[in-house]
Amino acid sequence: MKRVLVATSNAGKIRDFAGAASRFEVEIVPLPNLASFPAVVEDQETFEGNARKKAEAYSRHISGELVIADDSGLEVDALGGAPGVHSARYAADEPHAAKANTDDDANNAKLIREVKRVPPEERNGRFVCWIAVARDGKTLTVFEGKAEGVILEEPRGANGFGYDPLFYFPQIHKTFAELSAEEKAKYSHRGAAFGKFLEWYKSF
């Protein structure tokens, strides 16, 4: 079985990747000793830029190995594309909050406050994911995935993480938090991007 090294300590992302990889003979492995490496500041203006920066930085710590990193988030049209690249620290934009990643509950609470100001028919948005593949500090290729949906003002479901309980996917009449990891991989932005990576990886 091939292994894929993923530069993340986010258990939700690992679960998403594992769900997408379950159809292939691929094992998802968090990058060893990730916590001991210097943290990468995600200060780029795009998801792609942050994914590239993380993949390149962390791949320098494990010579000769392929390392993937992703950056992803939610874009809501009526909010001018917010939270966007600030998805993980959306609530930190509040005047009293520190400029660091904020927990899911705080981010979701802010999103709910914002979308309540928007008419229900205008609450369209999308999850976006970019995956970068790097080796020895150089990006080899990138992959993008998207999922279009509607933002709810009340959470539904106990699975997933991040904004999943508020992201309603009309195609299956469920939020992403109401899906198993394998089901989510069929429809999600991360599943789409990772599926493209796996197709590339098979012939690498």
- Catalytic machinery residues: 71
Coil, helix or strand at residue 123: coil
Q: What is the per-residue burial (b if ≥16 Cβ within 10 Å, else e) of 30-62? A: bbeebeeeeeeebeeeebbbbbbbbbbbbbebb
Q: What is d(CA 68, CA 110) in angstroms, rounded to the nearest whole number?
A: 30
Q: What does R_g of the chain's alpha carbons equal in angstroms?
A: 17
- Phi/psi of residue 6, each to 5°? -115, 125
Whole-number Å distance between alpha carbons of 170 and 140? 35
Query: Which DSSP symbol is given to 81?
Result: T
The rounded distance, in Å, linking the Cα atoms of 120 and 104 is 23
And the tokens for 138?
């150089």
